[in-house]
Amino acid sequence: MRRPLDPAALDVLFKEARTHSSFTALPVDDAILATVWNLARMGPTSANSSPGRIVFVKSVEAKKLLEPALSSGNRAKTMKAPTTAIFAYDMQFYDLLPRLFPQDDARSWFAGNDEAIRVTAFRNGTLQAAYFIIAARALGLDCGPMSGFDNAKVDAAFFPDGRYRSNFICNLGYGDGQRIGPRNSRLEFDEACKIL
């Protein structure tokens, strides 16, 4: 039986981790993004489908491409963040299943089944994005995930061929501790869970 992580690690990942809206000017090195990915990619997905895709928006040109899609409340903070991750999912993920899940003909489970593709890509891509956030926290980054943007505009700007679809975006960097209020309430176990 594995031992639980020590309380300090749980604090970093969950108890003291917060959504950040403002960051220091310190850039996020490409190498740390690759290290976070290499950790996050180990999280489980259905049949190892791994449909999650990420575009890291860092350059001035890429930020300008993203800006029109952002809601007014998210525009300024996203433009100032060192990096913004666009978490997306691949609608043709199943073409990689012969390599990712060679023990079965998993590609045939999806090819031609649009609903199975959509549900599996969205669900597992979302899981992978959550793994990425946890891995980023574990490796010293702060995160500011958000939904306040126009998916259609992001997809047109960054994924014009339609293969990838945006899910949500997340600012990444080193939080400056500003604009963090008290932690909002969370549901208690008995409100959200049932043991049968």
CA distances from residue 107 to 41, 67, 103, 184 in whole angstroms, order as listed = 20, 37, 11, 43
DSSP string, 129-163: HHHHHHHHHHTT-EEEEE--B-HHHHHHHH-TTSS
Digit-coded pLDDT (tens) for 4-45? 999 999 999 999 999 999 999 999 999 999 999 999 999 999
Token pair of 78, please?
A: 């996203």
Contacts for 101-105: CB closer than 8 Å, 24+ residues apart: 101/47, 101/48, 101/49, 104/47
DSSP string, 59-108: SHHHHHHHGGGB-HHHHHHHHHSSEEEEEEEETTGGGGHHHHSTTTTTHH
For 133, list phi and psi in degrees, rounded to 5. -60, -45
Token pair of 13, please?
A: 């990942």
List, in order, residues 6 or more apart from 155 with CB less than 8 Å away: 162, 164, 165, 166
Digit-coded pLDDT (tens) for 61-114? 999 999 999 999 999 999 999 999 999 999 999 999 999 999 999 999 999 999
Digit-coded pLDDT (tens) for 152-161? 999 999 999 9
Q: Alpha-carbon Rg of the chain, whole angstroms? A: 18
Distance of CA 5 to the CA centre of its chain: 23
pLDDT for the residue numbered 65: 98
- Are 134 and 23 contacting, i.e. CB atoms less than 8 angstroms apart? no
Closest CA to 145 of 16, 14, 19: 19
- Are 125 and 53 contacting, i.e. CB atoms less than 8 angstroms apart? yes
pLDDT for the residue numbered 130: 98
pLDDT for the residue numbered 181: 82
